[in-house]
Every structure is written in structure tokens, then in C-alpha cells.
Structure 1
Amino acid sequence: MPDGHPKETSHELGKVILTALNDRQTGWSMGSFGAIAEFHQVEGDPGALWPDVFTRVTDRGGVAFTDLTDCTAVAYETLSPKPDRWGQSVALCLPEAAARMSRHKVLTALGPDHGALLPEHRGAMLFDMGLDQPQVDFCIRTDDPQLIDVLTQAEGQSLFTPGNPAMPAILAAHPHRIAVTRIGRVEVFQKIGGPDTGGKSPVGPHTHILPKLMATGRTHSANTPIPDGLVPVAGLHPASALSDQLGRDKPWDPAAFAAFQALFRDWAPSGQAELKALVRDLIAAGSQPDVFAPPPGRHMRAAVRIAIRQAAREDGETPTLSAWRALFDGAAKPEDLPPEHPA
């Protein structure tokens, strides 16, 4: 890993990422629509190591940023099926051409992982899983001679070919999973979620590989409002005002809410922050909802509904707010569907 700061064009973005890396409540992800690696720090664990300024590593995994050149941040919110909730994230995006990775279609040996976050892992062997994803090379890393032998014999084949022994061997051995993108990488040291983990992903860093989502050929969920021409390669997941890192309810956190809203005002897709502010102003003024004509588009409709939910959280229920909710956030709509991606 190079020392010091990653290359970047936006000092503000680098500053935000560095601040977030120092916040144990912030989560991170890198990957694609259907193949993703997540890094979270776990309460009670020792603090993360700092191999360099833009890298954090724990006993469970790590995240590193190496090149923020041409990186664009897109802050967005998503509807929750629960009527009083919403999700939030910051997508770190690159232009399509700049985001493109190797797109290996078969299991491919890459040699020792010289880019490993920790020196003790740099002699282990790296294998591209051959998932053919546009913005991530999804790899496994191992120094297990038996697993290396199985993977070497299966090189050049798809992991999903019936009868290929490589995937069962991977699931049994639990090698490190490495998501490599043009802006950095996430490493996961923990076991793969499955029978050995009680059928659940382990707490903290973990991975998801979902062939049905990968088969769509999309780079991201339809619920994620990424501008045309950009591809999300990583996600910054700040602390929620509503729930903890495990998704459990917590008391309303106004500081966490304000912190994300500041990012949203700067980095939201065009018009969304202004639309939410307008809705909040109209509700605060006691205006009835029939004076408002919502703009078209699923993401703009979702922004209206999220503004109503946030008004309820911050200001409490009022007759005016109830009228807005009944008109715009009552019956289930297509955008109520949860994101296709579990992350």
C-alpha cells in the first residue's frame, strides 16, 4: 500500500472520507450489484490499525482508499417498507470507463497479493473468482496449500459450472475475500456466511455474492439514484439517526441526522435537496398538500415521502403533516420495495 494520502481531485471528498474512517459507527462497502464486500467496526473490538492514513484494518477485515481521482460522491436516501423510516448512504462513483476492472469470466490465478493491507498477507495467493463484474475484481486470498491446489486445478473454469469442486472448497475453507476497485479495496477475514455461521452473515465485515442479481448486468439497484454515466464502486454508510449498525432501533439521534443532511445538501442528485426543503417549508407553514404538484420520477417521489417522514421525526405529527402523509405516503407504491441489494 502506498503511504500517505490517495490521489484525489476533491479535497473536500478526501476530508469527508478521512473523518468517516475515524468514526467507528461508519460502515463501508465496495463491489457491484450482487457481489459486495462490507467493512464495519464492531463495538467492543480493539481499535483499527492504521497502516496508512486512508486505511483501517481490524482482526475481522479492512478498507483502504488509494486513488480518488475522478471520484464523485452521490449522497442519497431510500424508502424503507416501514412507514416511519428511510435509508441513507453515499455512493462513491467513477465514470464508466474509469471504473472498469478486469472482468475475468473464469477463475484466474493472480499470484501473491502484493496489495494486501497487512504485510503478513502479501505472500498469500490471490485468485479472481471470475464474476465478470464491471466495477470490481472479486477475489479470494489464501495460503492454504490444499485450497490452492484445488483452485489451481479449476483455473479457467467458472465457479458455477456444475460439478466444479472449487466453490465447495472455498465455502469449506473460508479464505479471505478481497473486493478490488479503482479507488481501493475491502478485505474480509471472517468466515463466509452459511452453515458454519448459523446461516447468517457474521457481525462486522462480510461479503455477499448473489448470482441472480449479477445476472441482471446492472451496476446498481434501481433504488439508487446514480447519475447517468457514473458507476458506484464503493459506499460510505454514515451512522443512522434511527438504528444502530445491526439495524436495531435506537433513540432518535439528531446529531447523526444533521451530519448526513449536510452531506445530502452538498452531494444529493440534482434537485432532491431543494425538493425536500420545499416540502418541509410547506408543511411547516401549514400549507395543505393540494397546493403541491410533485415532480415525476420514482426518485423524486421518494424524496417527497422521505421529507414527510423526516418532518414527523423532527417536528412531530400535526394535522397538516397527517394530510401530506395521507396523500403522498399512504398506499404502497413501487418505490416501497426494499433495495434489491441486501447492503
Structure 2
Amino acid sequence: MCSEPEAGWQRPAAVSRLVAEALADPETTWTMGGFGALARFGRRRDPSVAAPADGRPGHVTAFGGIALEPAASIPVAYETAFNGGWSHAVALCLPGARCPRAGAGPIRAAGCDHGALRAQNLGDKWFDLGLDLPQGRLLLRSADPDTLAHLAVLAGRTVADTIKAVRGLMTAADVVVTTPLGRIEVFGGAPASSDGPRAFLDPKILGLGRTHAATAPIPSGLVPVAQFTPPHPCRDGAGRPRPFDPGAHATFQAVLSRWGDPELVRLKARLLAGDTVAPLAANRATRAVSRLVQVQIAAAANQDSAKSSTDTPR
């Protein structure tokens, strides 16, 4: 049901404002990469934030960093219902033609990193993991001779054949995901925090050959290259339940209205107004939006009920 991207969506100034506002929010988390291989950046737990070395839009903390040049991207805001809740996100997409796949290959030395987010990492050597990602590349970077020696031993072999060794090196080396829209770096030794910088690599998921999860309503022809997740109304940054926050909900609904799939946004508005979907018109997309409306109404109602019981004089 997803509509084709409208020409009006691609407005560089509006896109840049959207991303700048998201970058300014310490509760927002970011990912770059593909389905099965990505890096995530969050700064909720790290108040010490600096700018990237060359002044690109982004942040650098003690554990990782992000730099973005998003003006050419097409934002797609969406929500996904699941049993007992929902998730939301904004994918920064590019047309598939602008995301050429290099194809799968062996792990290989890739020279030196001249675009590092920290000045101290400029010129560090890195190795390309040879993954078949349309979104970009996943590399391991280091200045440590022992780490580089271990990476050199893996050169010429594939990630699938050396996954245990690769995952071990992903904790010692810097993990860098580079894309046409920017990069995320997870520095070696970063703690495996649920809401801080971290990297993810699963060859089995990569083997599915998908650009994104099947539940994400990305319009045909677009590839999600980066993604950000604003604060959720019912969960904190670590994914723990919290009381429904109507302000956070309203904030994302405004983003969804501007950057969501127009057809799905209109359908959701009709359902919230009391309309129903005729049985013959029901399909996967309409059923998904119907479930979403139900869980969001229930979340708001539960919060109203809890507030009423708290406010009742005893």
C-alpha cells in the first residue's frame, strides 16, 4: 500500500532542519548500515559531546560518534505495531540507483581512514569486511599493531567463515559504518550499553538479502541508509516501560504527518476518527494500521485511568 515517494518530500532545507532537531535531542538514537550489519549511536548516558573533527553536523562522545550530510535523503517516518506495543522511527532513504552494491567479498585492507570523526584517528588503518550492503561499508579501524596483525590474518577470508574472530575484533577495534549520508563510529572498548554506541553483525540476517525489515513500510525504490528513533511515549532510552507521555507521542505524530507515507497517514486519521476498514478492503497495510491505532488508544487510556485513580481524593 505504500505510496511512491512524492517529489515534494525531497526538500533539502526541510530535511536538514528535521535532522538538526533530531541531533539536538540527546534521547534520540541513530543507526546506519544494512539489515544484519549496522552501527548505532546514542548519547543519552554521555554528556560530554564534541563536534566531528572537520565540523560536519554530528556528535562525538567518549564511546562513539556520528556525522551526517542528510540534505539529499528522503525521510520516511513510520510506526510498527507489535504484540502489546509499537515502535516508531524515521528512515533517511536514497533511491536504489544511488546505492550501488559492491557485492560480497573477502576481508581486505582498505588503506587509511582520512575522514575519521576524531583527529586522533585520522590516518589510522582499516579493513573492509567485504559485506554485501547497498547502504555502504562496515570497516574495522585501529592504530594498535596487535589488532592490525589479527585483522591481517583474516584478510582474504570471509566474515561468514571467521565470524567468531571478527566479533572478537569488533570489541577491540573501532567499528566504522560509512554511507553516502555520513558515518557512525563505535570506538574500541565502548561498553555494550543498550542505549549507547554499539555495532551489530549477523551473517544469517545478512544472508536474507533484504535492505530493511519486512514490517517497515519503506516505499518501493527507496533504500533506508540511516535511521533515527525519537523518544518513545511508552519506553525510555534503554527500552524500559514508562508511563505514557502524551508530549512525546504528539511530537512524533507531527513528524509522521509531515514525513510519513501519505496514504497510511490518511488511513490512520480516518481510523482515529471512528472509521472502520471494510472487510473486502482489508490487507496487510490496513490491518497493521488498525492494530497500531488500537494499541495507541489503549496506551493513552491506561495512562488516563492511572492518572484518574491517583487524582481521586481518598
Whether TM-score is above 0.5 comes out as yes
**Offset at residue 106 of structure 1 (A):** 1.1
Alignment of 1:191-270 (within 5 A): 191=189, 203-270=195-262
Q: Secondary structure at the match of 1:247?
A: coil
Structure 1 residue aligned with 2:283:
297
Q: Give the TM-score of the pair, scaled to structure 2.
A: 0.85
| Letter in structure 2 aligned against 1:177 | V
Q: Identify if the C-alpha distance between structure 1 residues 67 and 74 changes in structure 2 by more than 3 Å, giving closer, same or farther.
A: closer
1:34 to 36, 56, 60: 36
CA RMSD after TM alignment = 2.5
Q: Identify if the C-alpha distance between structure 1 residues 103 and 187 changes in structure 2 by more than 3 Å, giving closer, same or farther.
A: farther
Contact 1:62/1:187, CA 8 A, preserved across alignment? yes
**Offset at residue 267 of structure 1 (A):** 1.5
Q: Identify if the C-alpha distance between structure 1 residues 203 and 74 changes in structure 2 by more than 3 Å, giving closer, same or farther.
A: closer
**Offset at residue 54 of structure 1 (A):** 1.2
Contact 1:96/1:231, CA 8 A, preserved across alignment? yes
Q: Secondary structure at the match of 2:248?
A: helix
| Letter in structure 2 aligned against 1:308 | Q
Structure 1 residue aligned with 2:83:
81
| Residue 182 (structure 1) aligned with residue 180 (structure 2) | yes
State the distance in 2 between where 1:35 and 1:97 align.
Answer: 21
**Offset at residue 190 of structure 1 (A):** 4.9
Structure 1 residue aligned with 2:293:
307
Q: Give the TM-score of the pair, scaled to structure 1.
A: 0.78
User: How many pairs are equivalent?
Assistant: 293
Structure 1 residue aligned with 2:50:
49
| Letter in structure 2 aligned against 1:298 | R
**Offset at residue 293 of structure 1 (A):** 4.3
Consecutive unaligned residues in structure 1, runs of 5 or more: 1-7, 284-288, 318-343
**Offset at residue 296 of structure 1 (A):** 3.5
State the distance in 2 between where 1:237 and 1:98 align.
Answer: 24
Structure 1 residue aligned with 2:309:
none
State the distance in 1 between where 2:18 and 2:280 align.
Answer: 32
Q: Identify if the C-alpha distance between structure 1 residues 139 and 302 changes in structure 2 by more than 3 Å, giving closer, same or farther.
A: same
Contact 2:268/2:293, CA 8 A, preserved across alignment? yes
Between 1 and 2, higher relative CO (CA 8 Å, sep ≥ 6) is seen in 2
Contact 2:94/2:223, CA 8 A, preserved across alignment? yes
Q: Identify if the C-alpha distance between structure 1 residues 111 and 166 changes in structure 2 by more than 3 Å, giving closer, same or farther.
A: farther
Consecutive unaligned residues in structure 2, runs of 5 or more: 1-9, 304-314
**Offset at residue 311 of structure 1 (A):** 2.2
Contact 2:78/2:89, CA 8 A, preserved across alignment? yes
